[in-house]
Amino acid sequence: MASSATFTLFISTSLLLLLLCSLKKGDALEGRQATESRRLQHAHTVKISSLLPASVCTSTKGNIKKASLKVVHRHGPCSQLSKDKANAPTLSEILSHDQSRVNSIQSRIAFNSRKNSLEDSQATLPSKSGSSLGSGNYFVTVGLGSPKKDLSLIFDTGSDLTWTQCEPCVRYCYKQQEPTFDPSKSATYSNITCTSPLCSQLSSATGNSPGCSSTTCLYGIQYGDQSFSVGYFGKEKLTLTSTDVVNDFLFGCGQNNQGLFRGTAGLLGLGRDKLSLVSQTSQKYGKYFSYCLPSMSSSTGHLTFGNSGTSSGVKFTPLLTDSQSPSFYFIDITAISVGGRSLSISKSVFSTAGTIIDSGTVITRLPPAAYSAMRTTFRQLMKNYPMTDALSILDTCYDLSNYTTVTIPKINFFFNGNVNVALDLTGILYAASASQVCLAFAGNSDATDVGIFGNVQQQTLEVVYDVAGGKLGFGPGKCS
């Protein structure tokens, strides 16, 4: 089927590292040459133009992989949902939505009684929509019902319940790209009753006790200030690809939906709770999935269920569970290097807060001491470039408008189990324009706030979730 054929990613070659190997011989001293050579070895030398978002979609048709869905960035050129340019969020808006999401995650992962959900206003940036799930997210298109209707859903490893807006939209449905799902036109939809044990599973998946409307189980899930979905809890046939169909998939049929996902039809929950897609398909896919998030919004990636043979070069770090926050995927950062220099950060800095990996958070959040060490070294290695204003939460920005090429320090993350992950250039810099190119990291305001390895840093990596095996893998991706 042509519709399910494109899963391989194409990465713009301009993003490949263009390492300068040759140095001018002549007047420079041997020692200076050696230093320079070492500096370049730990740096990306790239054209400025390659740092800026592309405007052309470069998705290619690849081989059909089993149960593999095409991943698209919502606001990139490959997105049908981004045609509405007037309503597209600015980078600052994306970043302030991102902060709302982080606040909401951090209030859910409370490591001690110091924090509660009402107390987290200190780091709040103005967020007009109040959407805590942010907008810098990736979506996939799945089929729901019989006959199946295509729906574009944000996929989210930070939550569990899958939901979509549903007719008759008893209270409210926001505007979405595809026609709203209508269960009355599907031969396979049925409501879950209030007395069903399935209904009570909603408590842990949503954090809210289920409700009841006549005999139908009601779910409600909120993601922050004004963002929520409320509706009937139902089951339905879910078509991932033409050959991969999940019968009786439990999901939310949203009758009152607000705040978040402008354009998309809802959310695909890939957390670890019982009701997540990962858990509901555990018989079929063994709680194993992987994805590659495309870089620079220019190309498409994949989200693949099941283990069809791990691609070579994938290194695994233990996946940890926090009994207080069982939905999240915890991993351990052990060290960070910038420009080949290992930052001096004591191990306790990372272990105090813990770190989750999240597909929905845009910018990686580090404990304050770790971010400050990173920033100091990065600024030092970038001292030849003029700094400029901060961009929302990003405080280390450069005006590179006078340069055609720049040399950017490489950044590597080390995870428990000797896993060394070299970030793609797009995971190092976040560019609003050539005159405002920023270090794509932010520090938490509190040392006990959980760290988050966000989606900008995951770009072009193959990220493998072997949930049953208790490990998470990173591979040099390029999403192919």
Ligand X SMILES: *[C@@H]1O[C@H](CO)[C@@H](O)[C@H](O)[C@H]1NC(C)=O
In the complex with ligand X, the residue whose CB is nearer, 3 or 402, is 402
Measured CA to CA, the distance from residue 306 to residue 290 in angstroms comes to 8
DSSP assignment string, 424-470: PGGGTEEEEETTEEEESEEE-SSTTSPEEE-HHHHTTEEEEEETTTT
In the complex with ligand X, the residue whose CB is nearer, 253 or 296, is 253
Stretch that binds ligand X, among 208-216, 343-351, 442-450, 451-459 (CB under 6 A): 208-216
Beta-carbon-side half-sphere exposure of residue 340 (alpha carbons within 13 Å):
12
Assess 216 for contact with ligand X (CB under 6 A): yes
In the complex with ligand X, the residue whose CB is nearer, 402 or 420, is 402
Verify whether residue 395 is a known catalytic residue.
no
**Residues paired with residue 315 on neighbouring β-strands, in sequence order:** 474
How many chain residues bind ligand X (CB under 6 A)?
11
Q: Report the nearest approach of ligand X to the CB of residue 190 (Å).
A: 6
Catalytic pick from 156, 244, 273, 466?
A: 156
Q: Report the nearest approach of ligand X to the CB of residue 217 (Å).
A: 9
Residue from 181, 232, 249, 329 touching ligand X (CB under 6 A): that is: 232
Q: Report the nearest approach of ligand X to the CB of residue 248 (Å).
A: 14
Residue 52 contacts by C-beta under 8 Å, 6 or more apart in sequence? 431, 433, 434
Asked if 461 contacts 473 with a C-beta cutoff of 8 angstroms, the reply is no
Is the bond preceding residue 77 a cis peptide, omega within 30 degrees? no
**Site string (439-478) toward ligand X, x via CB under 6 A:** ----------------------------------------
Stretch that binds ligand X, among 198-206, 210-218, 374-382, 413-421 (CB under 6 A): 210-218
- Side-by-side strand order, sheet with 411-415: 341-342, 333-338, 411-415, 419-422
Q: Report the nearest approach of ligand X to the CB of residue 296 (Å).
A: 23
DSSP assignment string, 380-392: HHTTTSPEE--BT
Assess 313 for contact with ligand X (CB under 6 A): no
Catalytic pick from 244, 358, 424, 466?
A: 358
Residue from 213, 324, 380, 405 touching ligand X (CB under 6 A): that is: 213
Q: Report the nearest approach of ligand X to the CB of residue 398 (Å).
A: 9
**Site string (149-188) toward ligand X, x via CB under 6 A:** ----------------------------------x-----
Cite the DSSP H helix spans in 340-391. 347-353, 368-381
Stretch that binds ligand X, among 7-15, 209-217, 264-272, 350-358 (CB under 6 A): 209-217
Beta-carbon-side half-sphere exposure of residue 323 (alpha carbons within 13 Å):
0
DSSP assignment string, 114-180: T--TTSGGGGPPP-SS--TT-SS-EEEEEEETTTTEEEEEEEETT----EEEBTT-SSB---BSSPP
| Element housing 247 (H / E) | strand 244-258
In the complex with ligand X, the residue whose CB is nearer, 158 or 210, is 210
What size, in residues, is the chain?
A: 480
In the complex with ligand X, the residue whose CB is nearer, 111 or 385, is 385
Residue 152 CB coordination number (10 Å): 23
Residue from 189, 228, 261, 316 touching ligand X (CB under 6 A): that is: 189
Euclidean distance between the first and final Cα of the chain, in Å? Answer: 20
Residue from 22, 214, 344, 418 touching ligand X (CB under 6 A): that is: 214
Residues 387-426 that bind ligand X (CB under 6 A): 399, 401-402
Stretch that binds ligand X, among 2-10, 48-56, 212-220, 365-373 (CB under 6 A): 212-220
Residue from 191, 206, 298, 455 touching ligand X (CB under 6 A): that is: 191
Asked if 367 contacts 442 with a C-beta cutoff of 8 angstroms, the reply is no
Token pair 């959407």 is found at: 131
Q: Does residue 251 sit in helix, strand or coil?
A: strand
In the complex with ligand X, the residue whose CB is nearer, 232 or 288, is 232
Q: Report the nearest approach of ligand X to the CB of residue 402 (Å).
A: 4
Q: Does residue 91 sit in helix, strand or coil?
A: helix
Residue 282 contacts by C-beta under 8 Å, 6 or more apart in sequence? 468
In the complex with ligand X, the residue whose CB is nearer, 275 or 400, is 400
In the complex with ligand X, the residue whose CB is nearer, 323 or 384, is 384
Q: Report the nearest approach of ligand X to the CB of residue 211 (Å).
A: 11
Asked if 73 contacts 152 with a C-beta cutoff of 8 angstroms, the reply is no
Residue from 147, 179, 313, 386 touching ligand X (CB under 6 A): that is: 386
Q: Report the nearest approach of ligand X to the CB of residue 5 (Å).
A: 33
**Residues paired with residue 246 on neighbouring β-strands, in sequence order:** 238
Verify whether residue 248 is a known catalytic residue.
no
Q: Report the nearest approach of ligand X to the CB of residue 209 (Å).
A: 18
Stretch that binds ligand X, among 131-139, 213-221, 423-431, 449-457 (CB under 6 A): 213-221
User: Would you please indicate which residues are annotated as catalytic (active-site) residues?
Assistant: 156, 358
Please report, as ranges, the residues that interact with ligand X according to CB under 6 A. 183, 189, 191, 213-214, 216, 232, 386, 399, 401-402
